[in-house]
């Protein structure tokens, strides 16, 4: 089986890690080799010492992208779950990796502030931490992501079905025996990928 990179991007608390772990489980069940490169874990080891300036954030993403490229070209699936706020470096990774599927996890900022999984929005809004994406640091949404998740409107399972469905339509993941998504959803996925020129 050929490898690829599944690249999640989105604001803090949007749902990247949750979806990455769930998709990982499904791909493992289908016999694929999978590694998740989660933003938090990467910053603890591979990118320890880097800060949150644009330069440091881009360096962090290039490191994640480099590892994802090595994994992808050796038949594994690399799933990245980092905010990756800058479009330019994400597109650079897409070019470098080739088999690259971008998932934009979208959610209104008010819902994110309410969710605040790690309590960081509260701190950022109180001015206790600076350069927090979505509060006082920019986020550039992708222009042509293969998948858009509306995590305030969809259940985790619905979002996962869209992602796995897209990977199946692209031919990157074998289909399972059971139907993961309905025929209508498959049509919607196909139309989107065609309109964007990905198939």
Ligand X SMILES: Nc1ncnc2c1ncn2[C@@H]1O[C@H](COP(=O)(O)OP(=O)(O)OP(=O)(O)O)[C@@H](O)[C@H]1O
Query: Can you give the binding site for Mg ion, defined by CB under 5 A?
Result: 17
CB atoms within 10 A of CB 68: 27
Q: Is 83 in the site for ligand X (CB under 6 A)?
A: yes
Q: Indicate the pairing of strand 77-81 with strand 34-38.
A: parallel
Contact region for ligand X (CB under 6 A) — 54-62, 84-92, 94-102, 148-156?
148-156
Between residue 152 and residue 181, which ones bind ligand X under the rule CB under 6 A? 154-156, 159
Quick check: is 159 catalytic?
A: no
Structure tokens belonging to residue 69:
């490229």
* Closer residue to ligand X (CB): 5 or 151: 151
Q: Which position has the token pair 């990905």?
A: 198
Which residues, 6+ apart, have CB-to-CB distance to 56 below 8 Å? 50
Minimum distance of Mg ion from residue 17's CB (angstroms):
3
**List 14, 17, 84, 159, catalytic entry:** 84
Q: In what order do the strands lie in the sheet with 77-81?
A: 34-38, 77-81, 4-9, 100-106, 147-150
Structure tokens belonging to residue 155:
């259940």
14 binds, among ligand X, Mg ion, none (CB under 5 to 8 A by kind): ligand X
Contacting residues toward ligand X, per CB under 6 A:
10, 12-19, 39-40, 81, 83, 115, 117-118, 149, 151, 154-156, 159
Q: Cite the active site residues.
A: 84
């Amino acid at each position: 089986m050929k490898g690829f990179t599944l690249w999640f991007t989105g604001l803090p608390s949007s749902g990247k890690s949750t979806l990455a772990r769930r998709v990982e489980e499904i791909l493992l069940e289908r016999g694929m080799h999978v590694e998740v490169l989660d933003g938090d874990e990467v910053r603890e080891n591979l990118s320890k010492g880097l800060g949150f300036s644009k330069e440091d954030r881009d360096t962090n993403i290039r490191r994640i992208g480099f590892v994802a490229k090595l994994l992808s070209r050796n038949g594994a699936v690399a799933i990245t779950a980092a905010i990756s706020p800058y479009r330019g470096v994400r597109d650079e990774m897409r070019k470098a990796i080739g088999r690259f599927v971008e998932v934009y996890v979208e959610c209104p900022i008010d819902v994110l502030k309410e969710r605040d999984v790690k309590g960081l929005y509260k701190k950022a809004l109180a001015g206790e931490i600076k350069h927090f994406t979505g509060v006082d640091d920019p986020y550039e949404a992708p222009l042509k992501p293969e998948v858009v998740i509306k995590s305030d409107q969809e259940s985790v399972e619905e979002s996962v079905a869209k992602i796995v469905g897209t990977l199946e339509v692209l031919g990157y993941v074998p289909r399972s025996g059971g139907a993961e998504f309905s025929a209508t959803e498959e049509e919607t996925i196909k139309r989107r990928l065609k309109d964007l020129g990905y198939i």
